[in-house]
Structure 1
Amino acid sequence: MNDHQLLRYSRHILLDEIDIQGQEKFLGAHALIIGAGGLGSPAAFYLASAGVGRITLVDNDTVDLTNLQRQILHTTERVGHAKAKSGKQTLEQINPTIEINALVERVDDERLLELVRQADVVLDCCDNFKTRHAVNRACVAAGVPLVSGAAIRFDGQIAVFDTRKDEAPCYACLFPPDQEFEEVQCSTMGVFAPLVGIVGTMQAAEALKVVAGIGETLAGRLLLLDARSMEWSSIKIARNTACPVCGERHVTPSHASQESAANT
């Protein structure tokens, strides 16, 4: 790091758990953020200010006036502009020393896998199950940690799915892709503005911990927040060895040989 970086990130460097080595890991990392809305805004803010060297924002939507109640990457003047490009503009003002890539596109599975393979950590900040499952499949296939967040009304949740570890579950272990879930969105149900800030900021924190290997992440746990009472609940998540997405990935050699013998 040069003198400017040592000064800019001095408050991180003062932390024994981070120090210069940890900050250099941030600077050398690539974070992929899916969604530049309510969750993606605070997550991107903190990753950029923390010095993550490369951030890719993926969002094919445009800024709407109703977004401004909570999507803090954007401004009134940018209503009608692409969210990814608006986010890039804001992040470059926060930290002009890092690389921000803005992708205004709806990515299919092949393209998503390509993007995930280039990243060190992925933040799922989208608002629908179809995209969440697509992101999860790509992360499992590429072996890249996933930080997943969601928020609706006064309820928020966050978890880390790091299938680099054999015992770790993936998103599909928690929410099976063939199970019916009610799709709820802010446009019809509403959302408490600070809630997305809380969850998105925590996503940034977990992503930084993953990158630098700091402390214990939320891998294997789901945190639930009721913002009305401001009470947190923690639920342990077990991997599903029959999971259609990550199940085969977790088969041990001895287990695999037993299955092979049983099938002959």
Structure 2
Amino acid sequence: MDTKNQEQLTSRIVQAATEKERPDGSSYPSLSFADQRDLAESYGPDHKSVQLAALRQGIVPEVYARNQKRLSCADQIKLLQCHVAIIGLGGLGGTVTEILARIGIGTLTLVDGDRFDDSNLNRQLLSSTEVLGKPKASVAEARVKAVNPAVETRTVTSLLTAENAENLLNSATIGVDCLDSITDRFTLEAVCRKMGIIMVSAAIGGTSG
């Protein structure tokens, strides 16, 4: 977006902002999702660009209003500029995907070579009877877009291997281990170490994770 359009977008955001009140009674300038969507459609930038422009003016996209007090506008900008790779999109990975999309991580790489089947329905957040047989990565992408269209996604419908790991993690700042294989976990750890990427292991041991 050129400087003129950026200035026009910022001006429209300021005009659209309204004062809202938190549960504790404190007030803040808010940008509703409806206005965010209209601005994205009118000016051509994606939802993320509108959110970033608002946050830089101290205006809170209402979708992040309940992040406030814990997260400042500057913190929210940092999250929107982060890129997290989630490796494994089953019971744990689906929940991690949901949480990161809602809190506003700007880019998610979603990696899983598996498809949903009947046995996933009892525990996997992203599974439903409507998505049986569909790739987990594609279903995860659709869920992210439904929850927070500002989040950019990259889907990988193949399993992590020693051969493809570096490409899968390219440009990510954090890799989240939601794998169910010790061997694959060691592969991810080795590649994250080699690439200087932070690895967070969210793996399940028994009923804990």
TM-score when normalising by structure 1? 0.55
**Residue 74 (structure 1) shift:** 2.1
Residue aligning to 2:66: 11
Does structure 1 retain, via aligned residues, the 8 Å contact 2:178–2:201? yes
Show the 5 A alignment for 1:214-225: none
Instruction: Tell me how far apart the structure 1 counterparts of residues 83 and 135 of structure 2 sit (CA, whole Å).
Output: 22
Structure 1: gaps of 5 or more residues = 157-198, 200-264
SS in 1 for 2:90: coil
Instruction: Tell me how far apart the structure 1 counterparts of residues 205 and 119 of structure 2 sit (CA, whole Å).
Output: 15
**Residue 152 (structure 1) shift:** 4.8
Q: Which amino acid aligns with 2:177?
A: D
Q: Which amino acid aligns with 2:144?
A: L
Does structure 1 retain, via aligned residues, the 8 Å contact 2:165–2:191? yes
Find out whether 1:92 has 2:145 as its counterpart.
yes
Structure 2: gaps of 5 or more residues = 1-51
Which of 83, 87, 91 is the matching residue for 1:30?
A: 83
Show the 5 A alignment for 1:108-147: 108-147=161-200
**Residue 14 (structure 1) shift:** 2.4
**Residue 5 (structure 1) shift:** 5.4
Instruction: Tell me how far apart the structure 2 counterparts of residues 43 and 108 of structure 1 sit (CA, whole Å).
Output: 21
Q: Which amino acid aligns with 2:161?
A: D
**Residue 84 (structure 1) shift:** 0.6
Does structure 1 retain, via aligned residues, the 8 Å contact 2:110–2:155? yes
Residue aligning to 1:106: 159
Q: Which amino acid aligns with 1:120?
A: T
SS in 2 for 1:137: helix
**Residue 90 (structure 1) shift:** 1.2
Deviations 1:58-112 (A, max 9, x none): 0000001111111101211110111110111111111112112211012332321
Does structure 2 retain, via aligned residues, the 8 Å contact 1:58–1:84? yes
Instruction: Tell me how far apart the structure 1 counterparts of residues 60 and 161 of structure 2 sit (CA, whole Å).
Output: 37
SS in 2 for 1:147: strand
SS in 1 for 2:142: helix
Which of 106, 109, 122 is the matching residue for 1:69?
A: 122
Does structure 1 retain, via aligned residues, the 8 Å contact 2:108–2:154? yes
Q: Aligned pairs, how many?
A: 154
Instruction: Tell me how far apart the structure 1 counterparts of residues 155 and 60 of structure 2 sit (CA, whole Å).
Output: 24
**Residue 125 (structure 1) shift:** 0.3
Instruction: Tell me how far apart the structure 1 counterparts of residues 89 and 123 of structure 2 sit (CA, whole Å).
Output: 11
Deviates more, 1:108-117 or 1:34-43: 108-117
**Residue 7 (structure 1) shift:** 2.1
Does structure 2 retain, via aligned residues, the 8 Å contact 1:74–1:90? no
Deviations 1:239-264 (A, max 9, x none): xxxxxxxxxxxxxxxxxxxxxxxxxx
Does structure 1 retain, via aligned residues, the 8 Å contact 2:144–2:151? no
State the identity as a percent. 31
TM-score when normalising by structure 2? 0.69
